[in-house]
Amino acid sequence: MKVIFVVMAALAPFVLSYDEKYDKIDVDKILGDEALFNAYLDCLLDKGPCNQENAADFRKLLPEVIATACGKCTPIQRQGVRKTVKAITQKKPEQFKEFIAKYDPTHEHEAAFSAFVLGTD
């Protein structure tokens, strides 16, 4: 029985976090390229195709990321999510309203997610 617990404890970080491939995303490149940034937002808001790398994955993961305040994110992913959400709120306030309406329409997760976005690790 102890062996099972030890194995599960050793695997927990891998099971309880999102794929490391998301750690390699160049968030600054996306946010700095207006057309690319808009393409990702269009995908997330169901206004366009999800042709950009990992865009379809992001759309699927966002409800959980918001509901758990990035609870399964790696530290690098947490930084990327914070930077991205801040950029959307500052550069694209209308799209941010749409983003909230789509992913947290009842504002159930607003307080915890806002605290996460404004926090630091």
More confident of the two residues 2 and 22: 22
- Flag whether 3 is in a domain: no
3-state secondary structure of 74: coil
For residue 26, tell me if it sits in a domain.
yes
CATH of the domain at 68: 1.10.2080.10
Segments forming the whole domain that contains residue 24:
18-118
DSSP 8-19: HHHHHHHHSS--
Instruction: Report if residue 11 sits inside a domain.
Output: no
Residue 8, in any domain of the structure: no
Q: Per the structure, how many domains does the chain have?
A: 1
Q: What is the pLDDT of residues 26-81, one digit of tens each?
A: 999 999 999 999 999 999 999 999 999 999 999 999 999 999 999 999 999 999 99
Q: Is residue 7 part of a domain?
A: no
Inter-CA distances, 17 with 68, 74, 81, Å: 12, 6, 14
d(CA 5, CA 78) in angstroms, rounded, equals 28
Picking from 15, 27, 16, the residue whose alpha carbon sits closest to that of residue 86 is: 27
User: Is 45 a member of any domain?
Assistant: yes
- pLDDT, tens digit, for every residue of 3-41? 444 444 444 444 589 999 999 999 999 999 999 999 999
